[in-house]
Amino acid sequence: MTLSKFQIDSRYIAPLLISTILLIGNFKYGILEHPEKTATSILVSILVEILMGFLFLRKMPHLASAYVSGISCGILVRSPEWWPYAVVAALSIVSKYVIRVNGRHLWNPSNLGIVLLLLFAHESVSTLSFQWGNHVYAGLVIWALGLFIVSRLKRLHICLTYIGFFLFYSYVRTFFTGDSFLTEAAPITGPMYQLFILFMITDPKTTTQSKKAQTIVAFSVATMECILRLVGGRWGIHAPYYALTLMGPSANLIEIALQKYRPTGGISPTPVAA
């Protein structure tokens, strides 16, 4: 019996971590408010993934990414109604099949689903803000655990780039807003950003492929977010979601174009559901 037999499929690591955080947080603080709504997102996400898998590929897709999308939607979306939890999950999964270039889907599914709801249903939907509480030690544990796992997935550079530039831009914004550095940097100490940094911008399916490009994209997302934060209002409140929606696909399209016209040619298409 080799050690490798005990290794967990890397696709399950993120779902396991996020599920653990969720369960502990909910039992201790009731952070989900409506666990059944989060469950709805997960269930719809999985069912739509199965439906799309059979529709497009005539086979059962791997469900790990659908689970992560569902759980992300179910946590990050906040609404007193039920339908947004189902709609955001379905939108996220269907988007992977509808919006494709050269066989790749461009957007992080849950990011796009959430942004579409924010654009078209902003009076019915909000996103996670301070509803998980503002606990210092719980936050530190999640950061430590999350960053460790992200490093195992070889995506630590994305997180660190984003964090570094967020902090840098926090300093830059102080000259525009007149607020202190700690005020500008405060959001990144909260749970919403933990989820965004650890699980959304590191999504293997929707990030560019080279380490250098990934670093540039993380920088560009942080830059766009800073711009949106300076614009303020609705764009500022949901700045990270909009920034990723704008910059992630742009980077993917550039990468696709570069690879297409490179003399050696060709790209390695990303499967819909690995």
Partner 1 sequence: MSEKDFRKTRGPWAIATVIFVGLIGFAAYRNREHAHNGGAASGLQLPSPAVADALSRYGFTLTEGAKAAGLDFSHTPPKLDPKLDPILPRVADMGAGVAVSDFDRDGKPDVYVTDSAEGSKNKLFHNLGNGKFEDVGEKLGVADVNQKGTGTSMGALFGDYDNDGFEDLLVYKWGRPELLHNDAGKKFTRVTETANLPKWMNANTSVLLDFDNDGKLDILLCGYFAEGLDLWNLKDTSIMPDSLSFAHNGTDRHLLKGDGTGKFTDVTKEVGIDTKAWTLAAGVADLNGDGFPEIILANDYGKAELWLNNGGKRFTNVADGTVIGAKAKAGMNISFGDIYNDGRLAIYRTNITESEGNLIQNNDLWLPDKPGSLTYTDEAASLGVADGGWSFGAQFADLNNDGFQDLYLTNGYISADPKDFYWFDYGKVAMGNAVLVQDASLWPPLRGRSMAGYEAKRLWLNDGAGRFTEVAQAVGASDRFDGRAVAVADLDGDGALDILVANQKGPLLLYKNKVSPDSRWLSVSLEGVKSNRSAIGASVTAFFDGQKQTQVVTGGIGFCAQNQRPLHFGLGKTSTLEKLEIRWPSGTIQTVEGAKLTLGKINEVKES
* Residues forming the site for partner 1 (CB under 8 A): 29-31, 33, 52, 55-57, 78-81, 83-84, 87, 90-91, 94-95, 97-98, 100, 102-103, 116-117, 120-126, 129-136, 139, 177-180, 182-184, 186-187, 189-190, 192-193, 232-234, 236-237, 269, 271-272
- The residue (of 164 and 232) whose beta carbon lies closer to partner 1 is 232
> CB of residue 272 vs partner 1: minimum separation in angstroms?
5
* Residue 220 to residue 82: CA distance in whole angstroms: 34
**CB 245 to partner 1: min, Å:** 14
Helix H or strand E segment including 127? strand 126-127
Residue 75 or 192: which CB sits closer to partner 1? 192
Between 16 and 60, CB nearer to partner 1: 60
Nearest distance, CB of residue 182 and partner 1, angstroms: 5
Alpha-carbon dihedral sign for residues 167, 203, 133, 140: negative
State in angstroms the smallest separation of the CB of 78 from partner 1.
6
**Cα–Cα dist 54/93, whole Å:** 13
Of 30 and 164, which CB lies nearer to partner 1 in the complex structure?
Answer: 30
Q: What's the closest the beta carbon of residue 138 comes to partner 1, in angstroms?
A: 9
The Cα–Cα gap between 207 and 78 comes to 26
CB 250, min distance to partner 1, A: 20
CA 69 to chain centre: 8
- For partner 1, the closer of residues 122 and 154 by Cβ is 122
268 and 210 Cβ atoms separated by less than 8 Å: no
> Which is nearer to partner 1, 16 or 134 (by Cβ)?
134
Helix 109-120 to helix 64-76 angle, to the nearest 10 degrees?
30
The angle that helices 136-152 and 156-177 make with each other, rounded to 10 degrees, is: 130
Output the six-digit token pair for 201: 């911008």
**24: which strand partners?**
none
